[in-house]
Structure formats: C-alpha cells, structure tokens
A = this chain, B = another copy of it.
Amino acid sequence: MIYFHNDYSEGCHEKVLQRLIETNLKQTTGYGCDEYCAEAARKIKQACNREDADVHFLVGGTQANLTVIDAALRPHQGALCAVSGHINVHETGAVEATGHKVLPLPSSDAKITAQQVEQVVLAHRNDDSFEHMVQPKLVYISNPSELGTLYSLKELEALSTVCHENGLYLFLDGARMGYGLAAKDYDVTLADIARLCDVFYIGGTKVGALFGEAVVICNSALKEDFRYIIKQHGGMLAKGRLLGVQFDALFTDGLYFEISAHAVKMADQIRACFDELGVQYLVPGITNQIFPILPDELLAELSRNFMFTEMERVDDHNRCVRFCTSWATKQENVDALCAELKRLSGK
C-alpha cells in the first residue's frame, strides 16, 4: 500500500533526524529556553526579514491555532475565517473551548476576501445591537488553504490593509506554508507574509519535522506574556529543545524550501498525469495537494494499492478525492501512481 492520503505519514527528514541523534544526550535547560531554540529562532527571523519578531515553537497546528487566538482576543471577540477553515471544522471546537466564537464566512475555494472582512466589520459597527454580537477582531486564513489554494500577494495585501485599518489582527496558519512558497510562479515570499501578517506560523509537522510549528509574532501587541498562554494550554514541551533542533535543521541551508520544492515537483507530475487523462479538479492547484474528480469504479480499483482521502461526492458516479505529496514522497511511488492511473483509464 502506497500512501498519498496525507503529508504526515512518515517521521522526519533524514537531516532533521540526524540532528536529533547528534544532540540527543546533550544536556540543556527545559521549556524552550535552550540554545537550539535560540538558534532556530534567529534563523527563522532572518528568513522572515523580521529581526523584531518573537518566535515560539509549538507541537502542533491545533495547539498553535488555539494558543494564538486565545492570547490575542478578549472574551467577547471572535475569529473570522472561511467556513471551511480548519479552526471552524476540524479542531473539535478548540477555539470555542477557549471561549471564543469562530465567525465563518462563505467561501467556495477555502479563501476569504478583504471585501468580505470589511463588510462584516462595517455590518457589526452599524448594527444597533452590536453589543449583542461577537466582535470580529481577528482574521484567520490558512495559506495554502485546506483546499490547497493560495492567496496572491495582492489578496494578502488587501487583507492586511483591511485588517489594520479596522483594528483587526491578521493570523496566517502556515501548516503547509513550505508547499505554498515552493509552488511554481507563486508571488508571495516568507518575508511578504512576515510583513503583512500580525502573527503566523511555519508548519514543521507536514514539512520535514517529526512535529512542530514555529509561531512568529510580528505585532508587538501580541507578544506580551505569550509563553504563559502556551503553558496554560499544555503546549510548553519540557524538552523544548526538540523543536529548536528540528527547526534549526530545517532552516539551515534552505532545507525547508528544498524539501518543499520536492513535494511540489512530485505533485506537479501527478497533476500532469491527471491533465493528460483529462481529469477535472474540484479546485485548480499548484501546491502539494491535488483534488481530482474521479469515477467510482476507478477509485475502487485504485484504492487496492494506493491510499488517498475521500472528499465530497460530486454526482452519482464521481467523487472528489485528495492526493497529497510531501517531502518524503518517492519518485518511484509517483511513477507507480501515474502508471496505475493510466492503466485504469485505458491509456
């Protein structure tokens, strides 16, 4: 069985593992106050071109989302996001468990627009009953999104502008950030993100690390006492060094970007195969996720040797599914997938 159903099926990249092995018996202080975390933070700030940022390392994405949002909001404030946003759908109400409402906006491509945000803010402000409603205060976007779509530089700038003009924070979930930045012709850089967002995180779990997300706080208003909130939510790893070691490895000699590019290259080959076969997609994509619409019989056959994720049914005979590549995807497995797809399609 060959896994294409997600980008966290393996452990970590060999260089990350190597660093964990090398440092294993080194003694350090705990809770992320060690030299590895300091060095990783230094490299990340440099890569972001934000020497003034604070960097914190958290174990996973849900933890990062709930910690950032809880730290940023007062009790009556909520987080705007696409209705398909991870915090709205797939975190078992983690944000609500911290007391905050998620305010979903309609979206067909898992993205939201500056105009949507502005409309909500104005509607809130102009409503006579505004104090009876949750105050929108933070905009959560994922980039790449849950559907692999990407915000263009122009879209991101517009969101940043509308947020800052209206006193909202812009928070970018970068669980798959590497696979976005490495996408062909994508016009946004890490420095752009760090310039436009108040806070964001760089995903390690899905991009070469065993686990870990690097939260980068750019807006000073969000920096104070952040470590207390991490601890309160059980996110302060005793051996915080593990996160420092891994992100140090990922941000040494561009490893993070290099392995992201590999995943995108593998995905591009699969996309080329689908294109050749005339397959339609739920949404077009250029990152490591592919959402083709395929006939049930083909999927039944394909599932004998390949794992992928079932998405929504499109009609009585076709379903959208998801294929993911990652830093660990092997060329031979991509070749095997493409060959099988062609065989099953009779080509």
Residues of A with Cβ closer than 8 Å to B? 1-3, 6, 8-12, 14, 17, 20-21, 23-31, 59-67, 70-71, 74-76, 78, 89-94, 96-102, 128-129, 131-135, 205-206, 210-211, 225, 227-229, 231-239, 241-242, 310, 328
Query: Which residue of the partner chain, among B31, B96, B205, contacts A100 with CB atoms under 8 Å?
Result: B96
Known contacts: A27-B3, A70-B75. The answer to whether A92 contacts B131 by CB under 8 A is: yes
> Quick check: A232 and B63 within 8 Å, CB to CB?
no
Minimal beta-carbon separation of A37 from chain B (angstroms): 14
Given the complex, which residues of B lie within 8 Å of A239, measured CB to CB?
8, 11, 205, 210-211
CA distance A93 to B99 in the complex (A): 8
Given the complex, which residues of B lie within 8 Å of A78, measured CB to CB?
93, 96
Interface-central residue, A31, A93, A129, A233, by most chain B CB under 10 Å? A93
Cross-chain pairs A/B with CB under 8 angstroms, 8 sampled: A3-B27, A9-B27, A10-B24, A11-B23, A76-B225, A92-B232, A94-B234, A233-B233
> Quick check: A233 and B232 within 8 Å, CB to CB?
no
Query: Which residue of the partner chain, among B132, B205, B232, contacts A75 with CB atoms under 8 Å?
Result: B232
CA distance A227 to B62 in the complex (A): 14
Given the complex, which residues of B lie within 8 Å of A61, measured CB to CB?
238
CA distance A225 to B137 in the complex (A): 12
CA distance A247 to B206 in the complex (A): 23
> Quick check: A232 and B93 within 8 Å, CB to CB?
yes
> Quick check: A94 and B133 within 8 Å, CB to CB?
no
Identity of the chain B residue whose Cβ is nearest the Cβ of A58 in the assembled complex:
B234
Given the complex, which residues of B lie within 8 Å of A28, measured CB to CB?
9
Identity of the chain B residue whose Cβ is nearest the Cβ of A225 in the assembled complex:
B76
> Quick check: A206 and B10 within 8 Å, CB to CB?
no
> Quick check: A9 and B30 within 8 Å, CB to CB?
yes
> Quick check: A234 and B93 within 8 Å, CB to CB?
no
CA distance A162 to B76 in the complex (A): 30
> Quick check: A231 and B8 within 8 Å, CB to CB?
no
> Quick check: A94 and B210 within 8 Å, CB to CB?
no
CA distance A119 to B127 in the complex (A): 33
Interface-central residue, A24, A236, A241, by most chain B CB under 10 Å? A24
> Quick check: B131 and A227 within 8 Å, CB to CB?
yes
Known contacts: A21-B21, A132-B231. The answer to whether A100 contacts B90 by CB under 8 A is: no
CA distance A8 to B34 in the complex (A): 12
Minimal beta-carbon separation of A167 from chain B (angstroms): 11
CA distance A341 to B232 in the complex (A): 38
Given the complex, which residues of B lie within 8 Å of A132, measured CB to CB?
31, 90-92, 231, 236
Query: Which residue of the partner chain, among B75, B232, B238, contacts A229 with CB atoms under 8 Å?
Result: B75
Minimal beta-carbon separation of A21 from chain B (angstroms): 7
> Quick check: B234 and A62 within 8 Å, CB to CB?
yes
> Quick check: B98 and A242 within 8 Å, CB to CB?
no
Query: Which residue of the partner chain, among B30, B64, B233, contacts A94 with CB atoms under 8 Å?
Result: B233
> Quick check: A25 and B8 within 8 Å, CB to CB?
no
CA distance A242 to B28 in the complex (A): 22
CA distance A79 to B241 in the complex (A): 32
> Quick check: B97 and A232 within 8 Å, CB to CB?
yes
Known contacts: A10-B26, A75-B70. The answer to whether A233 contacts B93 by CB under 8 A is: no
CA distance A132 to B229 in the complex (A): 9
CA distance A74 to B3 in the complex (A): 35
Known contacts: A67-B234, A94-B233. The answer to whether A20 contacts B11 by CB under 8 A is: yes
